[in-house]
Amino acid sequence: MAKNPSYYDSKGQSISLVQQIGQGGEGTVWTTNRKGYLAKIYHKISQEQAKKLELMIANPPKNPTAGQNHIAISWPNDLIKDKQKRCVGFLMRQITGAKEMICVYLPANRIQKAPRFNWYCLHIIALNFISIIKEIHAKNYIIGDINTKNILVNDRSLVSLIDTDSFQVTESQTGNVYRCSVGVEGFIPPELIGKDLSKLTQTRYHDRFRLGVMIHYLLFGYHPFMGKWSGSGDPPGQNESISKGYWPYGNNSLLQPSQNTIPINVVHPELEKCFLKCFNDGHQSPSSRPSPEDWLNALQLAITDLVVCSKNKNHIYSKHSSGCYWCDRANTLNVDIFPSVQNPIHPKPLTSKSPPPPPPKPQNGSSSQNRLIQKLQSENRSLTVKVDQLNKRSKVLSKLAVISTIIATALASLSLFQYNELKKYTYVNFCNKTSYQTIYVALAYWDGTGLRSKGWYPVKSGGCKEVSVAQNYNGNVYGYAEYNSGEVSWGGQYSFCVDLVDRFSISESDKVSCSGSNQKSVTMSAWSVSPGTNNWNLSP
Ligand SMILES: [Zn+2]
């Protein structure tokens, strides 16, 4: 390469390379005079690669963490051309302050480099990783070359994918496929082992094997196809184990769990099902492998069920287990893979960043009169309610199974910008768009320890009532409204038993049955809110 070559972007603006920070078989990676952007310059670029880059630049996947000011995918942004207008490489966003995934899941690395990444963080990383894959598949790209080096994780457990120019790209108009010809051992699905990847068009089912391997790495710390060899002769290599379906929980597998194997039932039962589907059913039938959505659902349930060990607060385990597996393991093997740390990070409820669903349509509620409500209506009913038993929390949340996208564990200190953001309040504004003179509305939200409600609020016809939720509340709220003691009501799909004596309190929020005379079963609508005003229009 000439010492100071002249490079330009697609608009003809000059780009200069500043410092080389990486080198590979295909080319070199440089910082540039454009802050936050790196350049990849190929040693030699084929026309096919240049065309593939053009297609990628024209159709980037959605960034699932855009709302958090985080770059989830270092996607090609623009071509880099030389003086003769030949493509020589591309520009991409630089990911800073992040570590390779292997630093957090491999116990020996983690203890040295990132000891606060406990099992909760690893679940969140898996969730964030899968959210990115979901967006990539949504645009019909196939990763092809997932490996632990091109996935980065930052201090908030947010994930970034790099090295994206190897992805398989399909041109939608012509159907032309630009293949991914590289693959790392351990991530190649059984049906592709031994084949020439440059001649193969891959599908999302092939990527789904890779997802299973990556999530296994995160939650167990090692590759799934490892175990104690029970056959004769030397144990097979990794590729051979994969192609034969030998893993410790395989059908007729000659690789069995060893004393170092973390039993598969340590993970949430829904995650266990996903792993079995991925590596057993999916062995013969790639389309049986769990989709990103399947993993997301299982991970959400699993995260909701995580609890903190009483002996070591950095031990996080699934509450379906009889006790803390990490304690048992530390006692048996004399090694604690999650040793205690100062200020360990503890599970918190998942929040949703998805836009609020449209307000529910009015339903005809039961016409049963409840005089207690009438009594209430003249009183000031401000109240805070806690569903105090901690074990209820998971039940409620799993039942409400919110759609979650990206969650940060917030390890990092807050920037001033983030601090200002945090000072914002979250409001729900109920508007009575009906001719009913007074609609009574109630709102509940999860405050981290219980479901809180501040009671009933009257909303006059044509008017609105703004109810504050909490400072900087991002997550789900549950709303209910009724006219004339339930003659007409607005709710949703979630049933709650509420106490009506002197408040709208959620006494048995995780049970639908509702027997007391002061109780009433209502269905509430759940929707996601963020700081600022969130409107709920109550229409006829
Ligand atoms: Zn423990």
Ligand 1 midpoint to CA 324 (Å): 5
pLDDT score, position 512: 52
Structure tokens at 195: 């084949």
> Among candidates 483, 452, 480, which has minimal Cα distance to 468?
452
Ligand 1 midpoint to CA 350 (Å): 23
Ligand 1 midpoint to CA 123 (Å): 17
Range of weakest confidence among 29-38, 255-264, 411-420: 411-420
The whole-number average pLDDT for the span 365-377 is 38
Highest mean pLDDT, choosing among 1-10, 21-30, 400-409: 21-30
498 strand-pairing partners: 506, 520
In this predicted structure, the answer to whether residue 380 has a pLDDT above a threshold of 60 is no
Ligand 1 midpoint to CA 244 (Å): 36
Domain residue extents for the chain: 1-94, 95-333, 371-538
Ligand 1 midpoint to CA 82 (Å): 59
Ligand 1 midpoint to CA 367 (Å): 52
Contact by Cβ (8 Å): 255, 228:
yes
Contact by Cβ (8 Å): 483, 434:
yes
In this predicted structure, the answer to whether residue 332 has a pLDDT above a threshold of 80 is yes
Residue type, 441: V
Q: How far apart are the C-alpha atoms of 95 and 103, rounded to whole Å?
A: 16
Structure tokens at 280: 């057993």
Ordered strands of the 98-100 beta sheet = 98-100, 151-154, 159-161
Ligand 1 midpoint to CA 147 (Å): 31
Ligand 1 midpoint to CA 344 (Å): 13
Interior angle at CA 12, CA 9 and CA 15, nearest 5? 45
Ligand 1 midpoint to CA 319 (Å): 12
**Extended beta strands in 151-261, E state:** 151-154, 159-161, 169-170, 177-178, 228-229, 255-256
DSSP annotation of 264: G
Angle between helices 204-220 and 119-138 (to 10 degrees): 170
Tell me which of 451 and 37 has the higher pLDDT. 37
Classify domain 1-94 at the CATH class level. alpha beta
Ligand 1 midpoint to CA 100 (Å): 27
Ligand 1 midpoint to CA 340 (Å): 9
Residue 41: phi and psi, rounded to 5, are -115, 120
pLDDT score, position 474: 73
Ligand 1 midpoint to CA 403 (Å): 30
Structure tokens at 305: 């069920």
Per-residue pLDDT of 444-501, as tens digits, reads: 876 655 567 777 788 999 999 888 887 777 777 778 888 887 778 888 766 677 766 5
Query: Helix, strand, or coil here: 182?
Result: coil
Per-residue pLDDT of 508-527, as tens digits, reads: 444 456 666 666 777 777 77
Per-residue pLDDT of 168-193, as tens digits, reads: 999 999 999 999 988 889 999 999 99
Only one residue has tokens 């496929």, namely: 177
Q: How far apart are the C-alpha atoms of 145 and 136, rounded to whole Å?
A: 13
The band of 249, judged by pLDDT with boundaries at 50, 70 and 90, is very high
State which residues have CB under 5 angstroms from ligand 1, the bound ion: 309, 311-312, 315, 324, 326-327
Contact by Cβ (8 Å): 225, 247:
yes
Ligand 1 midpoint to CA 327 (Å): 4
Ligand 1 midpoint to CA 312 (Å): 5
Per-residue pLDDT of 118-157, as tens digits, reads: 999 999 999 999 999 999 999 999 999 888 889 999 999 9
Ligand 1 midpoint to CA 273 (Å): 24
Q: What percent of the chain has pLDDT over 90?
A: 61
Structure tokens at 210: 């890779």
Classify domain 95-333 at the CATH class level. mainly alpha
Q: CA dist 186 to 70, 129, 183, 226, Å? A: 29, 18, 9, 11
Only one residue has tokens 């059913």, namely: 281
Q: 60: which residues sit within 8 A by CB, 6+ positions away?
A: 73, 75, 139
Q: CA dist 162 to 92, 100, 132, 296, Å? A: 9, 10, 12, 21
Q: Is 532 left (phi over 0), alpha (psi -120 to 50) or beta?
A: left
Ligand 1 midpoint to CA 326 (Å): 5
Residue 118: phi and psi, rounded to 5, are -90, -170
Q: How far apart are the C-alpha atoms of 276 and 216, rounded to whole Å?
A: 11
Ligand 1 midpoint to CA 328 (Å): 7
